[in-house]
Amino acid sequence: MGDLGGKTYFITGGSGGLGKGLAKILFARGAHVTLFARNEERLTKAKEEIIRFRVHEDQELNTISLDLADGSQVEQVFRHQKVPDDVYCSTGGAIWENGFLADIKPSYLKQAMDNNYLTAVFAAQAALKIWKDADAEALQQSVEPTVPRLRRVVFVSSAAAFLALPGYDAYTPSKYAVRAIAETLRLEALLLSNPASTYKIHCAFPGTFISPAFIDEQATKPRLTKQIEGTDMDMEELKKRYPSGEEMARRILAGVEADDFAVCPDFESGLLFSSMMGSLPRRGLGLIDTLVGIILTLVWPVINRVWLEKMQNLNERRL
């Protein structure tokens, strides 16, 4: 990505995990970064950690505590900041919301949608409104044709948006919703683009990675969920097998810079995407995604049979 001096990035959910990893990498490359999250104490700690990576004297690192699931509050706060170049919507997760539908509280269904979907869509909506206003002003004032400014919204969904696993009854639908708004805005971005700005939408689908949230989630996931997704092991073994939040952030940034709409930062998410692309643009030239999709059409029935056997065995032991 090179030096990002002069660029401004907004990161929701920037107080920890993937969001903090994104902020650290971008700030270390010279960008101005503003972190948004609910927990002010965690934001302060994140700032103390990230500020050490400053490379330019005039670099700004700001932290703002707010409820990202409140759309009017998000827009009001965003409008009082420097206009961003990119907005990364990385808020989300599921701790208490894990479990089978018949066992979890109804309030957890709403909570998962608030935390994973509304926090993303409100941040994107506020950014688009601000950019449209800035573009209108720039076009009105400009006499000579200008080089369009690149404006990007990057949603962080999940590999769960390609795969419905038992036990993620609250989490998976909310991540499907993030995928849906990203797909919709990918087309609307063509309508928004103008001589002043080019709009781009990206959506990342990370699989399992190690973060404080993931560690907490392990305590509330049903064992069947962990068995199917391959996380039914002790934490030391998991840390050897899966990347850190910062490494996952690095891969996501690389995918965005490669201009892929669908950023699949690990092998598993890439496989799942290849079998569920629909009308979405293929990555790169599209040859690999197309071939893998054909192969997985034959493989999925076998995988489904294995999963069904696991669930039947579990049910028999209960009975």
List the beta strands (DSSP E) in 90-190: 149-156
Query: In DSSP terms, which residues pair with 198 in a beta bridge?
Result: 150
Chain centroid to CA 12: 10
Active site residues: 157, 171, 175
**DSSP at 277:** -
Neighbours of 227 (CB within 10 A): 17
Looking at this protein, which amino acid is placed at residue 289?
D
Those residues with Cβ within 8 angstroms of residue 32's Cβ, 6 or more apart along the chain or in another chain: 6, 7, 8, 9, 59, 60, 61, 82
* Strand arrangement, sheet containing 149-156: 61-65, 32-37, 8-12, 86-89, 149-156, 197-204, 262-263
